Chains A and B, each alone.
Chain A
Protein backbone atom coordinates (compact mmCIF):
# COMPACT_ATOMS: atom_id res chain seq x y z
CA UNK A 1 0.00 0.00 0.00
CA UNK A 2 1.48 3.29 -1.10
CA UNK A 3 -0.02 6.45 0.23
CA UNK A 4 0.07 9.92 -1.26
CA UNK A 5 3.24 11.02 0.55
CA UNK A 6 5.17 7.99 -0.69
CA UNK A 7 4.05 8.89 -4.19
CA UNK A 8 5.17 12.52 -3.89
CA UNK A 9 8.58 11.37 -2.68
CA UNK A 10 8.79 8.88 -5.55
CA UNK A 11 7.99 11.54 -8.15
CA UNK A 12 10.53 13.95 -6.66
CA UNK A 13 13.16 11.24 -6.71
CA UNK A 14 12.81 10.90 -10.46
CA UNK A 15 12.74 14.62 -11.15
CA UNK A 16 16.42 14.90 -12.04
CA UNK A 17 16.11 12.28 -14.77
CA UNK A 18 12.99 14.01 -16.02
CA UNK A 19 14.86 17.32 -16.24
CA UNK A 20 17.83 15.77 -18.05
CA UNK A 21 15.45 14.17 -20.56
CA UNK A 22 13.56 17.45 -20.97
CA UNK A 23 16.78 19.42 -21.51
CA UNK A 24 17.90 16.94 -24.15
CA UNK A 25 14.52 17.05 -25.86
CA UNK A 26 14.21 20.85 -25.99
CA UNK A 27 17.80 21.40 -27.16
CA UNK A 28 17.33 19.01 -30.08
CA UNK A 29 13.75 20.17 -30.75
CA UNK A 30 15.02 23.72 -31.24
CA UNK A 31 18.11 22.65 -33.16
CA UNK A 32 16.69 20.35 -35.84
CA UNK A 33 14.77 23.07 -37.77
CA UNK A 34 18.20 24.57 -38.58
CA UNK A 35 18.83 21.74 -41.01
CA UNK A 36 16.29 23.28 -43.39
CA UNK A 37 18.73 26.17 -43.85
CA UNK A 38 22.11 24.59 -43.13
CA UNK A 39 23.06 20.93 -43.36
CA UNK A 40 24.64 19.12 -40.40
CA UNK A 41 27.91 19.05 -42.38
CA UNK A 42 27.85 22.83 -42.75
CA UNK A 43 27.07 23.17 -39.05
CA UNK A 44 29.80 20.87 -37.72
CA UNK A 45 32.51 21.42 -40.33
CA UNK A 46 31.79 24.93 -41.58
CA UNK A 47 34.78 27.18 -40.90
CA UNK A 48 32.82 30.43 -40.75
CA UNK A 49 30.48 31.58 -37.99
CA UNK A 50 28.70 34.67 -39.37
CA UNK A 51 25.09 34.05 -38.33
CA UNK A 52 23.91 37.60 -39.07
CA UNK A 53 25.70 38.12 -42.40
CA UNK A 54 23.92 37.86 -45.76
CA UNK A 55 24.11 35.03 -46.64
CA UNK A 56 24.63 33.73 -43.07
CA UNK A 57 27.22 31.11 -42.13
CA UNK A 58 26.57 28.68 -39.30
CA UNK A 59 29.84 26.76 -39.01
CA UNK A 60 30.87 26.00 -35.42
CA UNK A 61 34.33 24.62 -36.16
CA UNK A 62 36.20 27.81 -35.12
CA UNK A 63 34.21 27.92 -31.87
CA UNK A 64 34.92 24.27 -31.18
CA UNK A 65 38.61 24.79 -31.92
CA UNK A 66 38.84 27.74 -29.52
CA UNK A 67 36.95 25.77 -26.84
CA UNK A 68 39.51 22.99 -27.05
CA UNK A 69 42.43 25.44 -26.90
CA UNK A 70 41.14 27.30 -23.88
CA UNK A 71 39.99 24.16 -22.03
CA UNK A 72 43.31 22.37 -22.43
CA UNK A 73 45.39 25.39 -21.52
CA UNK A 74 43.21 25.84 -18.45
CA UNK A 75 43.45 22.23 -17.32
CA UNK A 76 47.21 22.41 -17.90
CA UNK A 77 47.38 25.25 -15.37
CA UNK A 78 44.64 24.07 -12.99
CA UNK A 79 45.50 20.43 -12.51
CA UNK A 80 49.15 20.77 -11.39
CA UNK A 81 48.24 23.80 -9.26
CA UNK A 82 45.48 21.90 -7.52
CA UNK A 83 47.83 18.95 -7.04
CA UNK A 84 50.51 21.10 -5.41
CA UNK A 85 47.94 22.88 -3.24
CA UNK A 86 46.38 19.59 -2.12
CA UNK A 87 49.77 18.23 -1.05
CA UNK A 88 50.60 21.52 0.66
CA UNK A 89 47.35 21.39 2.63
CA UNK A 90 47.61 17.71 3.58
CA UNK A 91 51.37 17.36 4.18
CA UNK A 92 53.11 20.69 4.68
CA UNK A 93 50.80 23.27 6.22
CA UNK A 94 50.52 23.30 10.02
CA UNK A 95 47.28 21.71 11.32
CA UNK A 96 45.71 24.99 12.37
CA UNK A 97 46.36 26.60 9.01
CA UNK A 98 44.80 23.60 7.24
CA UNK A 99 41.33 24.35 8.56
CA UNK A 100 41.51 28.00 7.55
CA UNK A 101 42.87 27.19 4.10
CA UNK A 102 39.98 24.83 3.50
CA UNK A 103 37.43 27.46 4.47
CA UNK A 104 39.28 30.09 2.43
CA UNK A 105 39.20 27.90 -0.69
CA UNK A 106 35.58 27.00 -0.05
CA UNK A 107 34.55 30.65 0.09
CA UNK A 108 36.58 31.35 -3.02
CA UNK A 109 34.88 28.48 -4.85
CA UNK A 110 31.56 30.25 -4.52
CA UNK A 111 32.84 33.54 -5.94
CA UNK A 112 30.72 34.15 -9.06
CA UNK A 113 32.61 33.78 -12.34
CA UNK A 114 31.46 37.21 -13.48
CA UNK A 115 33.74 38.67 -10.79
CA UNK A 116 36.77 36.90 -12.28
CA UNK A 117 35.64 38.34 -15.60
CA UNK A 118 35.70 41.79 -14.03
CA UNK A 119 39.25 41.26 -12.74
CA UNK A 120 40.43 39.85 -16.05
CA UNK A 121 38.96 42.74 -17.97
CA UNK A 122 39.94 45.62 -15.71
CA UNK A 123 43.33 44.48 -14.39
CA UNK A 124 44.88 41.58 -16.32
CA UNK A 125 43.95 42.77 -19.84
CA UNK A 126 45.42 46.30 -19.49
CA UNK A 127 48.51 44.77 -17.89
CA UNK A 128 48.98 42.34 -20.79
CA UNK A 129 48.58 45.13 -23.28
CA UNK A 130 50.67 47.91 -21.79
CA UNK A 131 53.32 46.08 -19.79
CA UNK A 132 53.76 42.87 -21.77
CA UNK A 133 53.10 44.61 -25.11
CA UNK A 134 50.55 42.15 -26.41
CA UNK A 135 48.33 43.19 -29.32
CA UNK A 136 45.29 42.71 -27.17
CA UNK A 137 44.90 41.91 -23.50
CA UNK A 138 41.64 40.09 -24.14
CA UNK A 139 42.97 36.77 -25.32
CA UNK A 140 43.16 33.02 -24.73
CA UNK A 141 45.87 33.29 -22.06
CA UNK A 142 43.90 35.79 -20.01
CA UNK A 143 40.74 33.67 -20.20
CA UNK A 144 42.68 30.51 -19.28
CA UNK A 145 44.30 32.20 -16.27
CA UNK A 146 40.99 33.50 -14.91
CA UNK A 147 39.30 30.16 -15.61
CA UNK A 148 42.09 28.30 -13.79
CA UNK A 149 41.76 30.49 -10.74
CA UNK A 150 38.04 29.87 -10.44
CA UNK A 151 38.38 26.14 -11.10
CA UNK A 152 41.27 25.40 -8.69
CA UNK A 153 39.22 24.95 -5.48
CA UNK A 154 37.15 22.04 -6.86
CA UNK A 155 39.97 19.64 -7.86
CA UNK A 156 42.01 20.74 -4.83
CA UNK A 157 39.37 19.73 -2.33
CA UNK A 158 38.64 16.48 -4.17
CA UNK A 159 42.34 15.51 -4.29
CA UNK A 160 42.77 16.51 -0.68
CA UNK A 161 39.90 14.20 0.35
CA UNK A 162 41.42 11.29 -1.55
CA UNK A 163 44.95 11.90 -0.23
CA UNK A 164 43.88 12.14 3.38
CA UNK A 165 41.54 9.15 3.11
CA UNK A 166 44.26 6.99 1.51
CA UNK A 167 44.57 3.53 3.05
CA UNK A 168 46.33 3.99 6.41
CA UNK A 169 47.64 0.39 6.32
CA UNK A 170 49.61 1.03 3.13
CA UNK A 171 50.88 4.36 4.47
CA UNK A 172 52.03 2.80 7.73
CA UNK A 173 53.52 -0.11 5.80
CA UNK A 174 55.68 2.27 3.78
CA UNK A 175 56.72 4.15 6.88
CA UNK A 176 57.56 0.93 8.68
CA UNK A 177 59.94 0.16 5.83
CA UNK A 178 61.69 3.44 6.57
CA UNK A 179 60.14 5.73 3.95
CA UNK A 180 59.83 9.35 5.00
CA UNK A 181 56.71 11.37 4.40
CA UNK A 182 57.72 12.61 0.95
CA UNK A 183 58.70 9.12 -0.20
CA UNK A 184 55.43 7.68 1.09
CA UNK A 185 53.64 10.36 -0.87
CA UNK A 186 55.45 9.92 -4.18
CA UNK A 187 55.92 6.16 -4.12
CA UNK A 188 52.77 4.89 -2.42
CA UNK A 189 49.97 7.43 -2.23
CA UNK A 190 50.18 9.12 -5.64
CA UNK A 191 50.55 5.90 -7.69
CA UNK A 192 47.62 4.48 -5.72
CA UNK A 193 45.44 7.44 -6.62
CA UNK A 194 45.80 7.39 -10.41
CA UNK A 195 42.14 6.46 -10.90
CA UNK A 196 40.63 9.21 -8.77
CA UNK A 197 43.02 11.78 -10.24
CA UNK A 198 41.91 10.85 -13.76
CA UNK A 199 38.31 11.22 -12.67
CA UNK A 200 39.05 14.60 -11.05
CA UNK A 201 40.70 15.79 -14.27
CA UNK A 202 37.61 14.80 -16.27
CA UNK A 203 35.20 16.46 -13.86
CA UNK A 204 37.26 19.68 -13.87
CA UNK A 205 37.36 19.61 -17.65
CA UNK A 206 33.58 19.31 -17.75
CA UNK A 207 33.31 22.35 -15.54
CA UNK A 208 35.79 24.41 -17.62
CA UNK A 209 34.07 23.45 -20.86
CA UNK A 210 30.76 24.92 -19.85
CA UNK A 211 32.00 28.02 -18.05
CA UNK A 212 30.61 31.02 -19.88
CA UNK A 213 30.96 34.43 -18.33
CA UNK A 214 34.75 34.56 -17.94
CA UNK A 215 35.42 33.61 -21.54
CA UNK A 216 32.68 35.92 -22.74
CA UNK A 217 34.24 38.86 -20.91
CA UNK A 218 37.99 38.33 -21.32
CA UNK A 219 38.67 36.11 -24.35
CA UNK A 220 38.08 38.89 -26.86
CA UNK A 221 35.20 37.23 -28.74
CA UNK A 222 36.67 36.82 -32.21
CA UNK A 223 35.31 33.77 -34.03
CA UNK A 224 38.61 32.87 -35.67
CA UNK A 225 40.94 29.87 -35.56
CA UNK A 226 43.55 30.90 -33.01
CA UNK A 227 47.18 30.11 -33.84
CA UNK A 228 48.69 31.14 -30.51
CA UNK A 229 47.53 31.86 -26.98
CA UNK A 230 47.91 35.63 -27.34
CA UNK A 231 45.07 35.83 -29.83
CA UNK A 232 41.44 36.53 -29.06
CA UNK A 233 38.98 33.66 -29.41
CA UNK A 234 35.35 32.81 -29.02
CA UNK A 235 34.14 29.56 -27.52
CA UNK A 236 30.86 27.60 -27.75
CA UNK A 237 29.35 28.69 -24.44
CA UNK A 238 30.12 32.39 -24.78
CA UNK A 239 28.68 32.50 -28.30
CA UNK A 240 25.29 31.49 -26.95
CA UNK A 241 25.51 34.06 -24.17
CA UNK A 242 26.64 36.85 -26.48
CA UNK A 243 24.09 36.33 -29.23
CA UNK A 244 20.91 34.81 -27.78
CA UNK A 245 19.74 38.09 -26.26
CA UNK A 246 19.44 39.80 -29.66
CA UNK A 247 18.19 36.79 -31.62
CA UNK A 248 14.47 36.58 -32.46
CA UNK A 249 12.76 33.32 -31.49
CA UNK A 250 12.32 30.70 -34.24
CA UNK A 251 14.90 32.02 -36.71
CA UNK A 252 17.77 29.93 -38.16
CA UNK A 253 20.20 31.84 -35.92
CA UNK A 254 18.07 30.91 -32.88
CA UNK A 255 18.11 27.25 -33.95
CA UNK A 256 21.87 27.37 -34.51
CA UNK A 257 22.45 28.68 -30.97
CA UNK A 258 20.35 25.80 -29.59
CA UNK A 259 22.51 23.52 -31.73
CA UNK A 260 25.61 24.87 -30.00
CA UNK A 261 23.84 24.30 -26.68
CA UNK A 262 23.12 20.70 -27.68
CA UNK A 263 26.76 20.10 -28.65
CA UNK A 264 27.94 21.63 -25.37
CA UNK A 265 25.42 19.57 -23.39
CA UNK A 266 26.33 16.27 -25.03
CA UNK A 267 30.07 16.89 -24.63
CA UNK A 268 29.91 17.85 -20.95
CA UNK A 269 27.51 14.96 -20.35
CA UNK A 270 30.00 12.47 -21.81
CA UNK A 271 32.98 14.00 -19.98
CA UNK A 272 31.09 13.88 -16.68
CA UNK A 273 29.88 10.30 -17.23
CA UNK A 274 33.45 9.14 -17.92
CA UNK A 275 34.66 10.97 -14.79
CA UNK A 276 31.90 9.42 -12.67
CA UNK A 277 32.45 5.91 -14.03
CA UNK A 278 36.18 6.07 -13.24
CA UNK A 279 35.40 7.28 -9.73
CA UNK A 280 32.78 4.60 -9.06
CA UNK A 281 35.10 1.86 -10.38
CA UNK A 282 37.87 3.08 -8.06
CA UNK A 283 35.53 3.13 -5.07
CA UNK A 284 34.46 -0.46 -5.82
CA UNK A 285 38.08 -1.56 -6.02
CA UNK A 286 38.76 0.08 -2.68
CA UNK A 287 35.82 -1.74 -1.11
CA UNK A 288 36.98 -5.09 -2.44
CA UNK A 289 40.60 -4.52 -1.44
Chain B
Protein backbone atom coordinates (compact mmCIF):
# COMPACT_ATOMS: atom_id res chain seq x y z
CA UNK B 1 0.00 0.00 0.00
CA UNK B 2 1.25 3.44 -0.85
CA UNK B 3 2.00 5.96 1.86
CA UNK B 4 -0.91 8.13 0.73
CA UNK B 5 -3.37 5.25 0.92
CA UNK B 6 -2.19 4.30 4.39
CA UNK B 7 -2.56 7.84 5.66
CA UNK B 8 -6.02 8.00 4.13
CA UNK B 9 -6.94 4.78 5.91
CA UNK B 10 -5.77 6.26 9.20
CA UNK B 11 -7.75 9.41 8.59
CA UNK B 12 -10.96 7.54 7.79
CA UNK B 13 -10.54 5.29 10.84
CA UNK B 14 -9.94 8.18 13.22
CA UNK B 15 -12.80 10.16 11.71
CA UNK B 16 -15.32 7.35 12.17
CA UNK B 17 -13.99 6.76 15.71
CA UNK B 18 -14.57 10.42 16.44
CA UNK B 19 -18.12 10.34 15.13
CA UNK B 20 -19.05 7.34 17.29
CA UNK B 21 -17.31 8.84 20.33
CA UNK B 22 -19.04 12.16 19.95
CA UNK B 23 -22.34 10.30 19.70
CA UNK B 24 -21.69 8.49 23.00
CA UNK B 25 -20.49 11.65 24.72
CA UNK B 26 -23.56 13.45 23.41
CA UNK B 27 -25.83 10.77 24.91
CA UNK B 28 -24.08 11.12 28.26
CA UNK B 29 -24.18 14.91 28.09
CA UNK B 30 -27.87 14.87 27.28
CA UNK B 31 -28.56 13.03 30.54
CA UNK B 32 -27.05 15.93 32.48
CA UNK B 33 -28.93 18.41 30.27
CA UNK B 34 -32.28 16.63 30.71
CA UNK B 35 -31.93 16.61 34.47
CA UNK B 36 -30.90 20.25 34.57
CA UNK B 37 -33.72 21.43 32.29
CA UNK B 38 -36.48 19.33 33.86
CA UNK B 39 -35.22 19.78 37.41
CA UNK B 40 -34.76 23.55 37.43
CA UNK B 41 -38.51 24.14 37.04
CA UNK B 42 -39.25 22.51 40.39
CA UNK B 43 -36.30 23.83 42.31
CA UNK B 44 -36.81 26.60 44.88
CA UNK B 45 -35.93 27.25 48.49
CA UNK B 46 -39.21 25.87 49.74
CA UNK B 47 -38.64 22.62 47.81
CA UNK B 48 -35.27 22.15 49.48
CA UNK B 49 -36.21 22.71 53.10
CA UNK B 50 -39.87 22.03 53.73
CA UNK B 51 -41.48 18.84 54.95
CA UNK B 52 -42.80 16.48 52.30
CA UNK B 53 -46.56 16.69 52.04
CA UNK B 54 -47.37 14.67 48.97
CA UNK B 55 -48.93 11.29 49.40
CA UNK B 56 -47.60 9.56 46.26
CA UNK B 57 -51.05 9.70 44.73
CA UNK B 58 -50.36 12.82 42.76
CA UNK B 59 -50.57 15.61 45.31
CA UNK B 60 -47.02 16.71 44.76
CA UNK B 61 -46.38 19.76 46.84
CA UNK B 62 -44.16 20.43 49.80
CA UNK B 63 -40.46 19.72 49.76
CA UNK B 64 -37.70 17.22 50.18
CA UNK B 65 -36.11 18.53 53.39
CA UNK B 66 -36.37 15.25 55.31
CA UNK B 67 -34.93 13.29 52.38
CA UNK B 68 -31.91 15.62 52.12
CA UNK B 69 -31.41 15.31 55.88
CA UNK B 70 -31.80 11.52 55.69
CA UNK B 71 -29.25 11.18 52.90
CA UNK B 72 -26.75 13.34 54.80
CA UNK B 73 -27.29 11.37 58.00
CA UNK B 74 -26.79 7.88 56.53
CA UNK B 75 -23.86 9.01 54.40
CA UNK B 76 -22.18 10.80 57.30
CA UNK B 77 -22.77 7.99 59.78
CA UNK B 78 -21.64 5.42 57.20
CA UNK B 79 -18.36 7.33 56.82
CA UNK B 80 -17.88 7.48 60.60
CA UNK B 81 -17.78 3.66 60.56
CA UNK B 82 -15.92 3.15 57.28
CA UNK B 83 -13.18 5.82 57.38
CA UNK B 84 -11.14 4.69 60.42
CA UNK B 85 -11.35 0.98 59.58
CA UNK B 86 -10.71 1.59 55.88
CA UNK B 87 -7.67 3.78 56.48
CA UNK B 88 -6.15 1.35 59.00
CA UNK B 89 -6.78 -1.56 56.60
CA UNK B 90 -5.09 0.37 53.79
CA UNK B 91 -2.13 1.08 56.09
CA UNK B 92 -1.92 -2.63 56.94
CA UNK B 93 -1.74 -3.52 53.24
CA UNK B 94 0.89 -0.93 52.38
CA UNK B 95 3.09 -0.91 55.52
CA UNK B 96 2.63 -4.22 57.32
CA UNK B 97 1.97 -6.83 54.68
CA UNK B 98 2.94 -5.25 51.43
CA UNK B 99 3.77 -8.39 49.48
CA UNK B 100 3.50 -12.18 49.47
CA UNK B 101 0.69 -14.68 49.21
CA UNK B 102 -1.39 -13.41 52.11
CA UNK B 103 -1.14 -9.90 50.70
CA UNK B 104 -2.42 -11.11 47.32
CA UNK B 105 -5.35 -12.87 48.94
CA UNK B 106 -6.22 -9.88 51.12
CA UNK B 107 -6.04 -7.52 48.20
CA UNK B 108 -8.17 -9.75 46.03
CA UNK B 109 -10.78 -9.86 48.78
CA UNK B 110 -10.86 -6.07 48.86
CA UNK B 111 -11.42 -6.05 45.09
CA UNK B 112 -14.12 -8.68 45.50
CA UNK B 113 -15.83 -6.76 48.24
CA UNK B 114 -15.94 -3.80 45.86
CA UNK B 115 -17.61 -6.03 43.29
CA UNK B 116 -20.37 -7.39 45.53
CA UNK B 117 -23.75 -6.29 44.08
CA UNK B 118 -25.27 -3.54 46.19
CA UNK B 119 -28.53 -5.44 46.60
CA UNK B 120 -26.58 -8.28 48.20
CA UNK B 121 -25.18 -5.77 50.69
CA UNK B 122 -28.80 -4.87 51.37
CA UNK B 123 -29.63 -8.51 52.17
CA UNK B 124 -26.60 -8.75 54.44
CA UNK B 125 -27.57 -5.54 56.24
CA UNK B 126 -31.09 -6.84 56.72
CA UNK B 127 -29.96 -10.21 58.09
CA UNK B 128 -27.18 -8.88 60.32
CA UNK B 129 -27.83 -5.28 61.39
CA UNK B 130 -31.63 -5.15 61.29
CA UNK B 131 -32.53 -8.70 62.41
CA UNK B 132 -29.55 -10.23 64.25
CA UNK B 133 -28.29 -7.08 66.01
CA UNK B 134 -31.90 -5.90 66.46
CA UNK B 135 -31.20 -2.40 65.13
CA UNK B 136 -34.44 -2.74 63.15
CA UNK B 137 -35.22 -0.75 60.05
CA UNK B 138 -33.27 2.38 60.93
CA UNK B 139 -30.72 4.99 59.97
CA UNK B 140 -28.17 2.98 61.96
CA UNK B 141 -28.77 -0.26 60.00
CA UNK B 142 -28.62 1.55 56.67
CA UNK B 143 -25.49 3.49 57.62
CA UNK B 144 -23.71 0.30 58.67
CA UNK B 145 -24.73 -1.37 55.40
CA UNK B 146 -23.47 1.61 53.38
CA UNK B 147 -20.22 1.66 55.34
CA UNK B 148 -19.43 -1.81 53.94
CA UNK B 149 -19.85 -0.39 50.42
CA UNK B 150 -17.54 2.52 51.23
CA UNK B 151 -14.88 0.33 52.84
CA UNK B 152 -13.11 -1.14 49.76
CA UNK B 153 -12.93 2.28 48.05
CA UNK B 154 -11.24 3.79 51.12
CA UNK B 155 -8.92 0.79 51.59
CA UNK B 156 -7.73 0.88 47.97
CA UNK B 157 -7.05 4.63 47.86
CA UNK B 158 -5.30 4.55 51.22
CA UNK B 159 -3.07 1.68 50.17
CA UNK B 160 -2.11 3.38 46.90
CA UNK B 161 -1.59 6.78 48.55
CA UNK B 162 0.68 5.27 51.25
CA UNK B 163 2.67 3.36 48.64
CA UNK B 164 3.31 6.55 46.70
CA UNK B 165 5.14 8.06 49.69
CA UNK B 166 8.91 7.71 49.07
CA UNK B 167 10.78 5.16 51.19
CA UNK B 168 13.34 7.73 52.38
CA UNK B 169 10.76 9.04 54.83
CA UNK B 170 10.20 5.62 56.38
CA UNK B 171 13.94 4.92 56.61
CA UNK B 172 14.60 8.32 58.15
CA UNK B 173 11.95 7.74 60.80
CA UNK B 174 13.29 4.25 61.59
CA UNK B 175 16.81 5.61 61.95
CA UNK B 176 15.48 8.01 64.57
CA UNK B 177 14.14 5.02 66.50
CA UNK B 178 10.50 5.19 65.43
CA UNK B 179 8.45 2.01 65.73
CA UNK B 180 6.55 0.68 62.73
CA UNK B 181 3.20 2.16 63.79
CA UNK B 182 4.80 5.51 64.62
CA UNK B 183 6.39 5.66 61.22
CA UNK B 184 3.16 4.62 59.48
CA UNK B 185 0.72 6.83 61.36
CA UNK B 186 2.85 9.87 62.23
CA UNK B 187 5.25 10.12 59.29
CA UNK B 188 3.84 8.42 56.18
CA UNK B 189 0.11 8.97 56.77
CA UNK B 190 0.26 12.79 56.99
CA UNK B 191 2.02 12.89 53.61
CA UNK B 192 -0.58 10.62 52.05
CA UNK B 193 -3.54 12.30 53.77
CA UNK B 194 -4.79 14.51 50.97
CA UNK B 195 -4.78 11.64 48.45
CA UNK B 196 -6.65 9.52 50.99
CA UNK B 197 -9.14 12.36 51.28
CA UNK B 198 -10.04 11.95 47.60
CA UNK B 199 -10.91 8.32 48.30
CA UNK B 200 -13.12 9.32 51.21
CA UNK B 201 -14.98 11.85 49.06
CA UNK B 202 -15.34 9.31 46.26
CA UNK B 203 -16.79 6.82 48.72
CA UNK B 204 -19.29 9.35 50.05
CA UNK B 205 -20.42 10.25 46.54
CA UNK B 206 -20.93 6.57 45.87
CA UNK B 207 -22.94 5.77 48.98
CA UNK B 208 -25.04 8.95 48.89
CA UNK B 209 -26.56 7.80 45.60
CA UNK B 210 -27.15 4.15 46.49
CA UNK B 211 -30.70 2.85 46.64
CA UNK B 212 -30.59 -0.94 46.80
CA UNK B 213 -28.69 -1.25 50.13
CA UNK B 214 -31.14 1.04 51.98
CA UNK B 215 -34.27 -0.37 50.34
CA UNK B 216 -34.96 -2.88 53.11
CA UNK B 217 -32.64 -1.74 55.87
CA UNK B 218 -34.43 1.46 56.89
CA UNK B 219 -35.43 3.81 54.07
CA UNK B 220 -39.07 4.72 53.78
CA UNK B 221 -41.05 6.57 51.13
CA UNK B 222 -42.82 8.95 53.43
CA UNK B 223 -42.00 10.65 56.69
CA UNK B 224 -43.91 13.63 58.10
CA UNK B 225 -40.93 15.11 59.91
CA UNK B 226 -37.16 15.51 59.87
CA UNK B 227 -35.24 12.51 61.23
CA UNK B 228 -34.24 13.09 64.86
CA UNK B 229 -32.59 9.85 66.03
CA UNK B 230 -30.59 7.07 64.43
CA UNK B 231 -33.06 4.35 65.42
CA UNK B 232 -35.76 5.84 63.16
CA UNK B 233 -36.62 5.08 59.58
CA UNK B 234 -35.66 7.81 57.15
CA UNK B 235 -36.31 9.26 53.70
CA UNK B 236 -33.45 9.39 51.20
CA UNK B 237 -33.06 11.22 47.88
CA UNK B 238 -32.35 8.21 45.63
CA UNK B 239 -35.11 6.09 47.16
CA UNK B 240 -37.56 8.98 46.76
CA UNK B 241 -36.84 9.11 43.01
CA UNK B 242 -37.56 5.39 42.77
CA UNK B 243 -40.72 5.69 44.86
CA UNK B 244 -42.09 8.63 42.89
CA UNK B 245 -41.51 6.87 39.57
CA UNK B 246 -42.97 3.52 40.52
CA UNK B 247 -45.77 4.04 43.05
CA UNK B 248 -47.35 7.30 42.00
CA UNK B 249 -50.70 7.56 40.22
CA UNK B 250 -50.25 11.08 38.85
CA UNK B 251 -47.20 10.28 36.76
CA UNK B 252 -46.50 13.63 35.14
CA UNK B 253 -46.56 15.55 38.43
CA UNK B 254 -44.37 13.04 40.22
CA UNK B 255 -41.95 12.83 37.29
CA UNK B 256 -41.32 16.57 37.60
CA UNK B 257 -40.79 16.13 41.30
CA UNK B 258 -38.39 13.25 40.68
CA UNK B 259 -36.36 15.42 38.30
CA UNK B 260 -36.09 18.09 40.99
CA UNK B 261 -34.67 15.48 43.38
CA UNK B 262 -32.34 14.11 40.70
CA UNK B 263 -30.97 17.61 40.14
CA UNK B 264 -30.29 18.06 43.86
CA UNK B 265 -28.61 14.65 44.07
CA UNK B 266 -26.47 15.18 40.97
CA UNK B 267 -25.44 18.64 42.16
CA UNK B 268 -24.31 17.18 45.48
CA UNK B 269 -22.34 14.44 43.76
CA UNK B 270 -20.83 16.79 41.17
CA UNK B 271 -19.66 19.10 43.97
CA UNK B 272 -17.94 16.16 45.66
CA UNK B 273 -16.25 15.24 42.35
CA UNK B 274 -15.03 18.80 41.86
CA UNK B 275 -13.60 18.66 45.38
CA UNK B 276 -11.73 15.50 44.34
CA UNK B 277 -10.28 17.23 41.26
CA UNK B 278 -9.12 20.15 43.40
CA UNK B 279 -7.55 17.87 46.01
CA UNK B 280 -5.78 15.95 43.29
CA UNK B 281 -4.29 19.03 41.62
CA UNK B 282 -3.04 20.13 45.05
CA UNK B 283 -1.25 16.85 45.71
CA UNK B 284 0.31 17.01 42.26
CA UNK B 285 1.79 20.42 43.02
CA UNK B 286 3.20 19.26 46.35
CA UNK B 287 5.00 16.21 45.10
Closest beta carbon of chain A to B221's beta carbon, Å: 10
Decide if A161 is an interface residue (CB 8 Å cutoff).
no
- Cβ A210 vs Cβ B120 within 8 A: yes
Among B89, B155, B212: residue with most chain A CB under 10 A: B212
Which residues of chain B have C-beta atoms less than 8 A from A177's C-beta?
Answer: none
Is chain B's binding surface mostly helix, strand, loop or mixed? Answer: helix
Is chain A's binding surface mostly helix, strand, loop or mixed? Answer: helix
CA distance A261 to B104 in the complex (A): 26
- Cβ B116 vs Cβ A115 within 8 A: no
- Cβ B242 vs Cβ A114 within 8 A: yes
Closest beta carbon of chain A to B19's beta carbon, Å: 10
Which residues of chain B have C-beta atoms less than 8 A from A133's C-beta?
Answer: none
Interface size in chain A (residues, C-beta < 8 A): 82
Over the window 24-56 of chain B, the binary record of Cβ atoms lying under 8 Å from chain A Cβ atoms (1 yes, 0 no) is: 110111011011000000000000000000000
Which residues of chain A have C-beta atoms less than 8 A from B116's C-beta?
Answer: 20, 23, 210, 265, 268-269
- Known A19-B113, A241-B119: A92·B14 in contact at CB below 8 Å: yes
- A106-148 with Cβ < 8 A to chain B: 106-108, 110-119, 121-123
- Cβ A110 vs Cβ B128 within 8 A: no
- Cβ A16 vs Cβ B113 within 8 A: yes
CA distance A110 to B152 in the complex (A): 16
Stretch of B72-80, B170-178, B222-230, B265-273 that contacts chain A: B265-273
- Cβ A245 vs Cβ B115 within 8 A: no
Closest beta carbon of chain A to B34's beta carbon, Å: 6
Decide if A3 is an interface residue (CB 8 Å cutoff).
yes
CA distance A81 to B14 in the complex (A): 14
Decide if B209 is an interface residue (CB 8 Å cutoff).
yes
- A1-45 with Cβ < 8 A to chain B: 3, 5-6, 8-10, 12-17, 19-20, 22-23, 26-27, 29-30
Decide if B92 is an interface residue (CB 8 Å cutoff).
yes
Closest beta carbon of chain B to A240's beta carbon, Å: 5
Which residues of chain B have C-beta atoms less than 8 A from A108's C-beta?
Answer: 28, 31-32
- Cβ A12 vs Cβ B89 within 8 A: yes
- Cβ A268 vs Cβ B115 within 8 A: yes
- Cβ A213 vs Cβ B117 within 8 A: no
Which residues of chain B have C-beta atoms less than 8 A from A116's C-beta?
Answer: 31
Decide if B192 is an interface residue (CB 8 Å cutoff).
no
- Cβ B88 vs Cβ A12 within 8 A: yes
- Known A6-B181, A87-B17, A213-B212: A115·B262 in contact at CB below 8 Å: yes
- B110-147 with Cβ < 8 A to chain A: 110-113, 115-124, 126-128, 131
Decide if A198 is an interface residue (CB 8 Å cutoff).
no
Query: Please, which residue of chain B has its CB at the minimum distance from the CB of A179?
Result: B6
- Known A13-B92, A265-B120, A268-B116: A118·B109 in contact at CB below 8 Å: no
Stretch of A47-55, A201-209, A223-231 that contacts chain B: A201-209
- Cβ A118 vs Cβ B245 within 8 A: yes
- Cβ B31 vs Cβ A111 within 8 A: yes
Number of A-B contacts (CB under 8 A): 244
Closest beta carbon of chain A to B49's beta carbon, Å: 22
Decide if B215 is an interface residue (CB 8 Å cutoff).
yes
- Cβ B123 vs Cβ A261 within 8 A: yes
CA distance A149 to B25 in the complex (A): 10
Query: Please, which residue of chain B has its CB at the minimum distance from the CB of A145?
Result: B27
- B154-205 with Cβ < 8 A to chain A: 155, 179-181, 184-185, 202, 205
CA distance A101 to B184 in the complex (A): 36
Which residues of chain A have C-beta atoms less than 8 A from B180's C-beta?
Answer: 6
Closest beta carbon of chain B to A250's beta carbon, Å: 9
Decide if B238 is an interface residue (CB 8 Å cutoff).
yes
- Cβ A107 vs Cβ B270 within 8 A: yes
Over the window 243-259 of chain A, the binary record of Cβ atoms lying under 8 Å from chain B Cβ atoms (1 yes, 0 no) is: 01100010000000110
Closest beta carbon of chain A to B180's beta carbon, Å: 7
- B255-287 with Cβ < 8 A to chain A: 255, 258-259, 262, 265-266, 269-270, 272-273, 277
Q: List 24 A-B contacts (CB under 8 A).
A: A5-B185, A8-B88, A9-B91, A10-B92, A13-B96, A13-B97, A20-B113, A26-B127, A30-B123, A81-B24, A105-B28, A107-B273, A111-B209, A112-B208, A112-B210, A112-B238, A115-B241, A117-B245, A210-B115, A237-B119, A268-B115, A272-B111, A273-B112, A276-B108
